[in-house]
Amino acid sequence: MSPKSSETKEPAAGSARQRPRPGLSTRIVTDDVISDPLAAEKPRFVVDDDRYVGMLWEANSELHARLEAAATLEDAREAVLGYLERTERAVFELDNPAHILEKATIRECIRVFKSIIGPINEKRTEFSALKCLWKLASGRRDELSCEISVGFLMEFIHLFRGVAGNSNIYREQEVMRKGIPEFLRLEGREAALRRSEMLDEMGSTVRKYFKRYPSGLDPEVVKWRKTNRTRIMRHFGASEDDWRDYRWHLQHVIRSADEVLSLVDLSREKAAAVKKARSSGLPFGITPYYLSLMDRNPAIGYDHAVRAQVLPPPAYVDQVAEHREDRGMLLDFMGEHDTSPVDYVTRRYPLICILKPYNTCAQICVYCQRNWELDELLAEDAMAAPADLDRAISWIAGQEGLGDVLITGGDPGIMPDRALDSLLSRLADIDHVYRIRFGTRTPVVLPFRFTDELCELLARYHEPGRREVALVTHFEHSYEITPEARDAIVAVRKKGIGVYNQQVFTVENSRRFETAKLRHDLRLIGVDPYYTFSMKGKRETGDYMVPIARILQERKEEARLLPGLDRTDEPVFNVPRMGKNHLRAWQDHRVVMILADGSRVYEFHPWEKNITPMPPYNYVDVPIYEYLEELASRGENIRDYRTIWYYY
């Protein structure tokens, strides 16, 4: 295995990526829609090249003419609506020459366009994309209240092309030129052989990309990490027995930039960020085991997701340090303060609740949604006070509708066996609790925790037909899957306990087939992909965020090529205070605006929308253009992602 090979690059135009403006914590309600009030900020963005404006008008000359001729904004709205309605009717005419798949794209783009220019959505988002387009077309750009970005123009270039039937999603493919694939013109064995050839081509694409993302089980990677382990053990004066003892790792968690620097290379920027985090009192720590997963030389590039998991970017440190005292409410972007009926319990669904008895972890994940709760790594007072835990368990016992309890935190995986045994015993004594889920990242960051004693303890409360115990963990990348992690999973599975993975979809695992490779590798060690979370947060986690369109594209174009057992996970967006919105279900979200910086505003409908009336939630996403610039800076061929604009 050699260092990351150079691939064909097609850098996005423009300067290096300016990280996105994620949502704010303050929420407003306008016309029964809960929103993040980003539109009120109105930052200025400068388009430094008018060629994008020219591309916009070339994309759809009729729309340009209608906008240019409109005397008022409302005239422009009527002109665009008239064009869209006529175009939509034309899709269903007998003599329309467009391919049926292109027609589907036309209808989708028309639906989105109508939503964006709807007056109610302009009111709710406090922004009018139509006004920007009208002012641009009529030569009154100086009248705009804010300059528009290349990202804004690129969104509408693709939308203009889409409604005109020129998305070019399929045009380059042989199937579109002929109209019908060859195998459908044939019958029997000959048809089957042609179909098999077509599937082989798809499969070769999967294999090509998979080779880019080695797992920690690859022999050469195992060899590298053995060298890392030796170096770390020498640093601490540890023995092989020490290395296999999870308690030794907890006692030697690495908490300073200087110690990290003595064991792996860090950029000057990363080292400064870690030092500032420590001086500002932010929790930070890496287990010696997890540090051994980092390549000694970061130029190799395979360990980027491992490093990003624990080494905070400067913007994160600055934001969290600034709000060190008020971070509870400010950084609680999931609104757990508003969904906690009793201390240490969170509830958003009818049959399930979260119990958080232990408020610390073996190491700190930078983008964790509960970082605001952690005062220090491995804090001595992390365990909930007995009286408070009694009240939480008594509350669960009094809620007969609760059958599924997720124990999380913090990370309950590092609780002492005795405390964990007591907790499981008390939950198992509640008749209506039929499932106990154990949420822990220890299989990834501290696999030695899964001793024979712990596995026996978990198995004691797993009674098929009466009560299930399930392990839910958090692998982010194939590079985290190691022989040690595999052995921990196998030990748990041998007790009849299912293991499931919740992945957060970030910049670090969002390249083509990167997450698909993780699913594949997880299944091989006995872990079922469960959820893939669309990354969200606020300014402090902006460096990790990915547009919703990318997770939709990944699900449709990459995961879909895998066998069903490799893609059992569900892509979701966790709506603050409300719960998971399933991104595969069109009824649950829609685009309502495109802002000046190219951000899409999504209206998310609550999971219970067909059961009881609840207000939607407006979310401001990461601009697709900025995300593609980031990929280009990492050596990606942006052409590979060209269909992303048509996932809404």
Mean pLDDT of the 464-489 span: 98
Distance from the first to the final alpha carbon of the chain: 38
Q: Hey, what domains does the chain have and what are their CATH numbers?
A: 19-211+583-648 (no CATH), 219-320 (no CATH), 334-582 (3.20.20.70)
Host H or E run for residue 520: helix 514-525
Do residues 221 and 1 lie in contact, with contact meaning Cβ atoms separated by under 8 Å?
A: yes
Q: Which pLDDT does position 298 carry in this prediction?
A: 77
Q: Which pLDDT does position 8 carry in this prediction?
A: 34
Phi, psi of 237, rounded to the nearest 5 degrees:
65, 40
Q: Which pLDDT does position 321 carry in this prediction?
A: 76
What are the angstrom distances between the C-alpha of 117 and each of 131, 163, 601? 9, 14, 13
Q: Which pLDDT does position 326 carry in this prediction?
A: 60
Q: Is the pLDDT of residue 35 over 60?
A: no
Task: Go through 492-513 and write b for each residue having 16 or more CB atoms within 10 A of its CB, e for each that does not.
Answer: bbeeebbbbbbbbbbbbbbbbb
Q: What percent of the chain has pLDDT over 90?
A: 66
Q: Which pLDDT does position 150 carry in this prediction?
A: 94
Phi, psi of 183, rounded to the nearest 5 degrees:
-65, -25
What are the angstrom distances between the C-alpha of 372 and each of 198, 330, 427? 50, 9, 27
Helix, strand, coil percentages for the chain (3-state, nearest 5): 50, 10, 40
pLDDT category at 24 given cuts 50, 70, 90 is: very low
Q: Which pLDDT does position 520 carry in this prediction?
A: 98
Q: Lowest-confidence range among 1-10, 375-384, 486-495, 618-627?
A: 1-10
Alpha carbon distance 436, 460 (integer Å): 12
Q: Lowest-confidence range among 152-161, 192-201, 230-239, 368-377?
A: 368-377
Host H or E run for residue 253: none
Q: Is the pLDDT of residue 549 over 70?
A: yes
Per-residue pLDDT tens over the stretch 480-529: 999 999 999 999 999 999 999 999 999 999 999 999 999 999 999 999 99
Residues 6+ apart with CB under 8 A from 156: 56, 59, 129, 133, 594
Q: Is the pLDDT of residue 634 over 90?
A: yes
Q: How many residues does the chain have?
A: 648
Per-residue pLDDT tens over the stretch 112-142: 999 999 999 999 999 999 999 999 999 988 8
181: tokens are: 């694939």
Q: Which pLDDT does position 224 carry in this prediction?
A: 95
Q: Lowest-confidence range among 3-7, 238-242, 514-518?
A: 3-7
Alpha carbon distance 389, 41 (integer Å): 42
Mean pLDDT of the 177-204 span: 84
Alpha carbon distance 133, 138 (integer Å): 9
- Residue indicated by tokens 């540090």: 291
Residue by residue, what is the 3-state secondary structure of 382-425? CECCHHHHHHHHHHHHCCCCCCEEEEEECCHHHCCHHHHHHHHH
What are the angstrom distances between the C-alpha of 183 and each of 198, 203, 560? 9, 17, 21
Mean pLDDT of the 35-41 span: 41
Mean pLDDT of the 181-198 span: 88
pLDDT category at 177 given cuts 50, 70, 90 is: low
Residue of 224 and 12 predicted with greater confidence: 224
Q: Computed over its alpha carbons, how large is the radius of gyration of the chain?
A: 26
Q: Strand, coil or helix: what is 470?
A: strand
Host H or E run for residue 604: strand 600-604
Alpha carbon 265 to its chain centroid, in Å, reads 27
Q: Which pLDDT does position 11 carry in this prediction?
A: 31
pLDDT category at 598 given cuts 50, 70, 90 is: very high
Q: Which pLDDT does position 73 carry in this prediction?
A: 97
Which of 1-15, 27-41, 282-296 holds the top average pLDDT?
282-296
Q: Which pLDDT does position 352 carry in this prediction?
A: 94
Q: Lowest-confidence range among 171-180, 240-249, 554-563, 601-610?
A: 171-180
pLDDT category at 39 given cuts 50, 70, 90 is: very low
Q: Which pLDDT does position 28 carry in this prediction?
A: 32
Alpha carbon 480 to its chain centroid, in Å, reads 17
Q: Which pLDDT does position 562 carry in this prediction?
A: 95
Phi, psi of 439, rounded to the nearest 5 degrees:
-90, 115
Residue of 3 and 628 predicted with greater confidence: 628
Sequence-ordered alpha helix ranges (H) in 441-505? 442-445, 452-460, 483-493
pLDDT category at 364 given cuts 50, 70, 90 is: confident
Mean pLDDT of the 38-67 span: 75
pLDDT category at 245 given cuts 50, 70, 90 is: very high
Q: Which pLDDT does position 332 carry in this prediction?
A: 62
CA nearest neighbour of 495 among 525, 470, 466, 531: 470
- Give the single-character DSSP code of 343: T
Do residues 504 and 476 lie in contact, with contact meaning Cβ atoms separated by under 8 Å?
A: yes
Mean pLDDT of the 612-640 span: 92
Q: Which pLDDT does position 588 carry in this prediction?
A: 83
Alpha carbon distance 90, 88 (integer Å): 5
Mean pLDDT of the 588-598 span: 94
Residue of 604 and 213 predicted with greater confidence: 213
pLDDT category at 373 given cuts 50, 70, 90 is: low
Q: Which pLDDT does position 435 carry in this prediction?
A: 98
Q: Which pLDDT does position 317 carry in this prediction?
A: 85
Residues 6+ apart with CB under 8 A from 299: 3
pLDDT category at 458 given cuts 50, 70, 90 is: very high
- The answer, yes or no, to whether the previous bond of 409 is cis (omega within 30 of 0) is no
Q: Lowest-confidence range among 1-15, 123-137, 245-259, 434-448?
A: 1-15
Q: What is the mean pLDDT of the chain?
A: 87
Q: Is 231 exposed, middle or buried (0-12, 13-18, 19+ CB in 10 A)?
A: middle
Q: Is the pLDDT of residue 392 over 60?
A: yes
pLDDT category at 233 given cuts 50, 70, 90 is: very high
Which of 143-147, 457-461, 612-616 holds the top average pLDDT?
457-461
What are the angstrom distances between the C-alpha of 266 and each of 214, 295, 296, 310? 22, 11, 9, 12
Q: What percent of the chain has pLDDT over 70?
A: 87
Do residues 286 and 264 lie in contact, with contact meaning Cβ atoms separated by under 8 Å?
A: no
Residue of 587 and 420 predicted with greater confidence: 420
Other C-beta atoms within 10 Å of 194: how many? Answer: 16
Per-residue pLDDT tens over the stretch 258-317: 999 999 998 888 899 999 888 887 888 999 999 999 998 777 889 999 999 999 888 888
Q: Which pLDDT does position 331 carry in this prediction?
A: 57
Residue of 97 and 21 predicted with greater confidence: 97
